[in-house]
Amino acid sequence: MSFRRRDYPELLETMLTSLAGGVAAEAHPFPPPPGGDPAAPRMELTRPPVRTLVSVHGARNGASFRFRQGADVQLSPDGAALLWASGGARPDEGTLVEVNYLRRDSSARLTDFEVGGVARSLVEAVALEAARVHAELQAVYEAAFLDTATGRSLDNVVALLGVERVPAGRARAALTFTRAGGAAGAITIPAGTRVIDPEVTVEYETVETVTLSPAQTRIGVEARDVEPGNAPVAAEVLTVLPVPIAGIAGVTNPAPAGRAAVAEPDAELRTRTRSILQGSERATLGALRGALARQGVQGEISEPPDRPGIVVITPVAADLTPERREQLLAAIEDARPAGVRVEVGLAAAPAAVDVALRIATRAGLPERDRRAAHEALRTALTAFFAQLPIREDARVNRLAGLALAVPGVEDVTILSATLHRPEGGPGGGVEDRLDAAAGIIRLADVPTRLGDLSIADPGLPTRADLAIRFPLDGAVPDRNAVVAAMETAFATLSATAAAGSTPDARTLSYGKLLRVLPAPVGGGATLAAYDAAPEPKPVLPTDAGPYEVVLFLAQANGLTRVLQAAADSYTLAAEERLALDAVTVEPLD
């Protein structure tokens, strides 16, 4: 049912036309039936011929509108139809047009319609009261719709969806969303976006839709606790997006939350209800996936064909405490379809996939900016794998696009993607999952998570710090000799990595480190000599005797590897370079 409010002038014209013996408020649908000139539609009148066209009223852009004679509409020469002018205002499609006109043979019941006359004054009084009734009817009509209802009427409308206005006193917090490095363009954060704490004890939702402009790196928005009775959270607690947003690196509440002094305004209630309507999947598989996402847990959902009415959920998580499992079960029960039993199995640990890539940053870029580009790329790729659905292949082109979107990055190559299955489990071991021909990383057959992310950049070497501690009664190592030996070894390893040699040749083990160090710490041999030696290779030392030797490798991606025991080693990526930063030689305590 639709309603169009008639204002006072329209009602007055309609009543006067009727009293004058004319045809009042003759309704015609728009557009008229097909036929004739589509640029100037012809609307046939019911009781021609027409002597005088009094007025034409209808709906335009959802509101009442009086169409102008001559500019918008005119009477046809034969007096049998209305002709809509090309380029003039037109009624909304699917609405009714009401026409007032006088017929050529009409006889007026009254002839005195002068302003101030008795008949005119009576008609004006009736039209005024009718206009007031129409205004009240419009208010009643609008009270039935989400976009136009206010106050108690809005409460009644949203109650049909099980939504209630949030009273005063609910915890509220100001959130700050931060753009991911390299994410370009506008990023919209819709109202109703959920944010939780790492322990999933509280859950807040944003109360309005905000958009990060292309030039913005962060934006603030108000959020409300979805549960009543919770105490306001402290600062820096709301830091987890259960459902990641592309281009958003993180979220937090810089200041402690407080309590709202007033009840939820109409605008926020409309926005919240609209977001519920848009994302209110309930009693469906999508609702179950949403329940998992809001708990910050990935999971596999299946419907066994031989077990009708059963849905099986297998959480995919490295660790799922009993408390977290109970929270997950409660969320699933709330979203469970009626008449369907949901079985939640034991959590399955995802396999780790290590990704190694090489990038080329712009020549002449300062080292600080190179490191910023590495950090931005690392953030973008981590977010990509966090958002990647379970058992879905990763597209190499997508990874490359994320890398090239980072300012300063000019080229990228995916070197490897290695899957590490749990030892002892089905298919345990290490597998190469990079399918360069198909342009994918094959992950569709097993739940995975991102393991080590190695980023090599010929323009940004891996920095190394060497610490040697000697006994007070022992010989003191020559620092200059140590520096020379390490620089020679690093040059050999860098050249080997640039040539794309085998992983064994690109690996610096703790034993190789001790072998190249000069006496009295090590053997003083070179890596080139070791690599050129025939099989079997010389036996590498396993310890430095009374000396303590520790090598710190600060990778370009921000991670640090430590070589201080026989089992420790570091494999350079293709084209990775090593550079010696500092050598410390000091006595043992």
Tens of pLDDT, residue by residue over 260-303, are 999 988 888 888 887 766 555 555 666 777 777 767 677 778 78
Q: Kindly compute the dihedral angle of the four CA atoms of residues 579, 580, 581, 582, in this order, to the nearest 10 degrees.
A: 170
**pLDDT of 119 strictly over 50:** yes
Residue 371 pLDDT class (50, 70, 90 cuts) = confident
Question: Residue 417, SS3?
Answer: strand
Question: Residue 306, SS3?
Answer: coil
Class of residue 188 by CB neighbours under 10 A (exposed 0-12, middle 13-18, buried 19+): exposed
- pLDDT for position 182: 67
Q: Which residue has the tokens 């749990």?
A: 422
> Would you say the C-alpha torsion 183, 185, 186, 188 has a positive or negative sign?
negative
Using an 8 Å Cβ cutoff, are 268 and 209 in contact?
no
- pLDDT for position 424: 44
| List of residues 6+ apart from 289 with CB closer than 8 A | 299, 301
**pLDDT of 124 strictly over 50:** yes
First to last CA, the chain: 90
Cα(589)–Cα(585) distance, rounded to whole angstroms? 13
Residue 559 pLDDT class (50, 70, 90 cuts) = confident
Class of residue 32 by CB neighbours under 10 A (exposed 0-12, middle 13-18, buried 19+): middle
Question: Residue 579, SS3?
Answer: strand
CB atoms within 10 A of CB 163: 17
How do residues 323-346 score in pLDDT, each as one tens digit? 777 777 887 777 776 667 888 877
Q: Which residue has the tokens 């006595």?
A: 587
Averaging pLDDT over each range in 287-296, 300-309, 521-530, which range is the top one? 521-530
User: How are beta strands 462-470 and 578-587 bridged, if at all?
Assistant: parallel
Using an 8 Å Cβ cutoff, are 507 and 570 in contact?
yes
List the domain boundaries for the chain. 8-139, 171-263, 283-337, 351-456, 462-587
Q: How many residues are there in the chain?
A: 589
Mean pLDDT of the chain: 86
Question: Residue 219, SS3?
Answer: strand
Cα(515)–Cα(528) distance, rounded to whole angstroms? 12
Greater model confidence, 40 or 439: 439
Cα(195)–Cα(86) distance, rounded to whole angstroms? 54
- Mean pLDDT lowest for which of 54-68, 145-159, 225-239, 474-488? 145-159
- Mean pLDDT lowest for which of 51-55, 414-418, 447-451? 447-451
> Would you say the C-alpha torsion 124, 125, 127, 132 has a positive or negative sign?
positive
The strand pairing partners of 465, in sequence order, are 552, 582
- pLDDT for position 557: 60
Encoded tokens for 469: 């501690």
> Would you say the C-alpha torsion 537, 539, 543, 544 has a positive or negative sign?
negative
Cα(454)–Cα(13) distance, rounded to whole angstroms? 80
CA angle 139, 141, 142 (to 5 degrees): 65
Averaging pLDDT over each range in 102-116, 370-384, 501-515, which range is the top one? 501-515
Encoded tokens for 491: 């040059």
- pLDDT for position 200: 82
How do residues 454-495 score in pLDDT, each as one tens digit? 887 877 888 899 999 999 888 999 999 999 999 999 999 988
Best CA proximity match to 54, nearest among 65, 63, 67, 43? 67
How do residues 372-425 score in pLDDT, each as one tens digit? 888 888 888 887 887 787 778 889 888 888 888 888 888 898 888 888 876 544
How do residues 150-199 score in pLDDT, each as one tens digit? 989 988 988 887 888 989 999 999 999 998 876 778 899 988 888 999 88
Question: Residue 354, SS3?
Answer: strand
Encoded tokens for 390: 């379970």
What percent of the chain lies above the pLDDT cut of 90? 34
Encoded tokens for 242: 């259960």
| List of residues 6+ apart from 43 with CB closer than 8 A | 28, 30, 32, 81, 82, 83, 84, 97
Using an 8 Å Cβ cutoff, are 158 and 165 in contact?
yes
User: How are beta strands 63-67 and 23-30 bridged, if at all?
Assistant: unpaired
Give the count of alpha carbons within 13 A of 505, CB side only.
18
Using an 8 Å Cβ cutoff, are 283 and 336 in contact?
yes
| List of residues 6+ apart from 148 with CB closer than 8 A | 142
- pLDDT for position 322: 78
Cα(314)–Cα(325) distance, rounded to whole angstroms? 12
| List of residues 6+ apart from 484 with CB closer than 8 A | none
- pLDDT for position 20: 87
Greater model confidence, 353 or 161: 353
Encoded tokens for 400: 């490359």
Class of residue 203 by CB neighbours under 10 A (exposed 0-12, middle 13-18, buried 19+): buried
**pLDDT of 3 strictly over 60:** yes
